Amino acid sequence: MRTIVCAEHMGFCFGVQRALSMVQKLDKPVTVLGDLIHNPQEIERLRKQGVAFVKHTAQLMGGTVVLSAHGSSAQRKRKVAERAERIVDATCPHVEKIHDIVRDLAPDTTLIIFGDPNHPEVKAVQNSASHALVITEVADIPQVAGPVALVAQTTQDSTRYKVFSQAVRQLNPTVQVFDTICHATADRQRAARAVAQDVDMMLVIGGKNSANTQRLAQIAGEIVETKHIETAAELLPEWFAGKDRIGVTAGASTPSWIIEEVIAAVRKF
Ligand code: SF4
């Protein structure tokens, strides 16, 4: 009999749950600027309820506009205000904390952001700072003249951030280091590690475009064979041959209905 071991923490985090309930309470139609969450299936479900998604402020045509959980720079908020009748800001409070830090920095501070330069959260923080560098590799850390501050994208791996911040401090001893990785991420990463050590294969469920889901797959993949899937339709029976214990975790943007569908499908193999 196959055993399915679910991670202690998985699926929707506080910020995503909060953003979705904000959208659900609004009279439709509403327009969301950017991905509300990084989960294509949940986005599609919302579309059917009258929620439109646009990528650029130029595409806004008035009405109610929701700003995504990933945060927006002050410039972007100003542009949205010119094209919306009402703005609902669904920025996660953990992301807002980074913007608060950036706002309080002295203008001559060089901000180092430990994160993915293409992620909307990182881009918004970078655009809010007067001078910001996005870096992920220790080898790329510069020695900076003047004040330096360091923040991390909320979904980065906390162990890697610790190593990175020590390296920044070696080159820039006066750097102000801020712990901006959110607990939801750390909890999911710790729980994924624990399950991966105890199973024959891990299934990591979530958007292929979700940074935190990709990170869970990377962490689990360093320990045991791991498959990153978005839905039950991707499961292949041959993956399960000779495997008795299957671990399951899911990114912070993954709704419980998808997790339940995957678990139900695994039980049938
Ligand atoms: S992962 Fe953390 S920072 Fe990102 S939306 Fe969820 S609670 Fe907020």
Q: Name the pLDDT band for 19 (thresholds 50, 70, 90).
A: very high
pLDDT of residue 192: 98
The HSE-up count of residue 170 (CA atoms within 13 Å, CB side) is 9
Q: How far apart are CA 37 and CA 254, in angstroms?
A: 9
- Short-list 226, 174, 182, 178, CA closest to 202: 226
* Max avg pLDDT among 38-42, 91-95, 182-186: 91-95
| CA of 18, closest atom in ligand 1 | 5
For residues 10-24, average pLDDT: 94
Two structure tokens written together for 175: 């750097």
CA 184–ligand 1 middle distance (angstroms): 6
pLDDT in tens, 73-84: 999 999 999 999
User: Side chain identity at 19, as an amino acid letter?
Assistant: A
Q: Is the pLDDT of residue 9 over 80?
A: yes
Q: Is-catalytic flag, 121?
A: yes
pLDDT of residue 250: 98
User: Side chain identity at 105, as an amino acid letter?
Assistant: L
Phi-psi map region of 50: left, alpha, beta (phi>0 left; psi -120 to 50 alpha): left
Q: Is the pLDDT of residue 148 over 80?
A: yes
Q: How far apart are CA 249 and CA 220, in angstroms?
A: 9
- Would you give the distance in Å from CA 51 to the centre of its chain? 21
Count of C-beta atoms within a 10 Å radius of residue 111: 24
- At residue 254, φ and ψ (nearest 5 deg) are -90, 120
Please, is 261 exposed, middle or buried when counting C-beta atoms within 10 Å of its C-beta (0-12, 13-18, 19+)?
middle
Q: Is the pLDDT of residue 193 over 90?
A: yes
Two structure tokens written together for 95: 């992301």
pLDDT of residue 209: 87
pLDDT of residue 3: 97
Ligand 1 pocket member 36 (CB < 6 A): no
3-state secondary structure of 59: helix
For residues 124-149, average pLDDT: 96
- At residue 247, φ and ψ (nearest 5 deg) are -90, 145
| CA of 185, closest atom in ligand 1 | 1
- Would you give the distance in Å from CA 88 to the centre of its chain? 20
Ligand 1 pocket member 14 (CB < 6 A): yes
Q: Name the pLDDT band for 90 (thresholds 50, 70, 90).
A: very high
Q: Is the pLDDT of residue 180 over 90?
A: yes
The one catalytic residue in 42, 44, 85, 121 is 121
pLDDT of residue 131: 96
- Short-list 138, 127, 135, 68, CA closest to 102: 127
> Whose alpha carbon is nearest atom 7 of ligand 1?
15
Ligand 1 pocket member 19 (CB < 6 A): no
Q: How far apart are CA 102 and CA 129, in angstroms?
A: 6
Q: Name the pLDDT band for 36 (thresholds 50, 70, 90).
A: confident
Ligand 1 pocket member 259 (CB < 6 A): no
Ligand 1 pocket member 252 (CB < 6 A): yes
CA 14–ligand 1 middle distance (angstroms): 7
Ligand 1 pocket member 92 (CB < 6 A): yes
Q: Name the pLDDT band for 61 (thresholds 50, 70, 90).
A: very high
> Whose alpha carbon is nearest atom 2 of ligand 1?
182
pLDDT of residue 159: 87
* Residues 6 or more apart whose Cβ sits within 8 Å of residue 192: 7, 10, 202, 204, 216, 219, 220, 247, 249
pLDDT of residue 185: 85
CA 60–ligand 1 middle distance (angstroms): 26
Contact status, residue 15 vs residue 67, Cβ threshold 8 Å: no
pLDDT in tens, 197-224: 999 999 999 999 888 899 999 999 999 9
Q: Is the pLDDT of residue 172 over 90?
A: yes
- Short-list 225, 255, 221, CA closest to 10: 255
